[in-house]
Amino acid sequence: MTQPPFWQPAMARNQPWRTALGLGLVAVVFVAASVGIIFVAARALGLPGWQVAQANTPATAAAYFLTFAGFHLGLAVALPLVHRRGYASLFGPARRLTLSHFAIGTGATFTIAAGLYSLMGLEHLVLPEGVSPPLIRNLAFAPWLAWLLPALLLIFIQTLAEEALFRGYLLQQLRARFRSPLIWAVLPSLAFGALHYDAQTYGVINAGAYVLNATVLGTLAAVLTLRTGNLAAAAGLHFGNNAILVLVGLDGTLDGFSLYTVALDLRNGYTSYSILTQTAAMAFAFWLWWRWMNRHRPIANAAHGL
């Protein structure tokens, strides 16, 4: 099995203690930056910090998503200090995101979302009244349009931060040290999924479904990143998934940028069905892509040494 260029920057300093130290530095910088941003936003808006963190207005949503810049800053600090390499090494040998891969990833997620929302529209015709949740207008068009580009930029910062940490830093460090996908793909994705656990909001069962969803998507994104040799496709998938909320969000949950919201009881069975349907749709799309890759690029795939 060859060593593709994507994880080669981590080969020289891939000791577990370095990775743990790097994660610690990233966490410290992220927490410090988040506290500072929330504090400044709370003072500027005249709101308590907990209300800013709810992100249910455009201004508070902007502050919330901006906190993820702390991950970028933390990685920019930890990588040179601990691993003697730069932030751009997280993207792959090109040291930048491949825009075509990013566009395809975003387009794939938008396509899946369009299909799922179309299915929701059909559900209103066949399910008993009150089962399928209604759409509610959240923002007037003019303020929504004024916030659209800043919202997309901030969502890009947030999603790229998570991809740079989990499918960039952790994937490179662990793949450079271990050959088992259970370690370099599944383990970081379990950690990624666990960060999404919120039993208070979703209830235990639905919170578990949310963790499963994030874990599966994280694992698929890790394999996708190694197959393409660039972080862009996974970043595009993540960006597309989160950018949908500028059109349709969940009522009361990070809906500050949303034009419409879905009035959904996050603890009921319909929520579990929605989460697991999204998981299945993404897995099916990945399966189709995997078959295409193996059929049309077998030599390139073998060279990546998965």
Q: Which residues of 196-216 are buried (b: 16+ CB within 10 A; e: fewer)?
A: eeeeeebbeebbbbbbebbbb
Residues 193-227 have pLDDT tens digits of 999 899 988 999 999 999 999 999 999 999 999 99
Instruction: Region of 210 please: left (phi>0), alpha (psi -120 to 50) or beta.
Output: alpha
- Asked, for residue 3, whether it belongs to a domain, the answer is no
Check pLDDT > 70 for residue 82.
yes
Q: What is the pLDDT of residue 123?
A: 78
Residue 53 within any structural domain of the chain: yes
| Burial class (CB within 10 angstroms; exposed 0-12, middle 13-18, buried 19+) of 88 | middle
Does position 306 have pLDDT exceeding 60, yes or no? no
How many CA atoms, within 13 angstroms, populate the side-chain half-sphere of residue 180? 5
- What is the number of other CB atoms lying within 10 angstroms of the CB of residue 233? 27
Percent of the chain scoring above 90 in pLDDT: 77
Residue 17 has pLDDT above 60, yes or no: yes
User: Quick one: pLDDT at residue 305?
Assistant: 42
* 167/158 Cα distance (integer angstroms): 14
The pLDDT tens digits for 276-295 are: 999 999 999 999 988 887 77
**Across all residues in the chain, what is the average pLDDT?**
91
Asked if residue 153 belongs to a domain, the reply is: yes
Pairing assessment for the beta strands 260-262 and 248-250 based on DSSP bridges: parallel
Confidence (pLDDT) at 299: 41
Q: Cα-atom radius of gyration of the chain, to the nearest Å?
A: 20
Identify whether 88 is part of a domain.
yes
Determine the Cα–Cα distance for residues 113 and 234; give it in Å rounded to an integer. 16
State the total domains in the chain.
Answer: 1
pLDDT confidence of residue 300: 45
Give the domain extent around 165: 8-303
pLDDT computed for residue 118 by the predictor: 84
Q: Within 10 Å of residue 127's Cβ, how many Cβ atoms?
A: 12
* Residue at 2 is within a domain: no
What integer pLDDT is reported at residue 282 of this predicted model?
Answer: 93
**Structural domain includes residue 1:** no
Q: What is the CB-side half-sphere exposure of residue 27 using CA atoms within 13 A?
A: 6
120 within domain boundaries: yes
pLDDT at 124 over 80: no
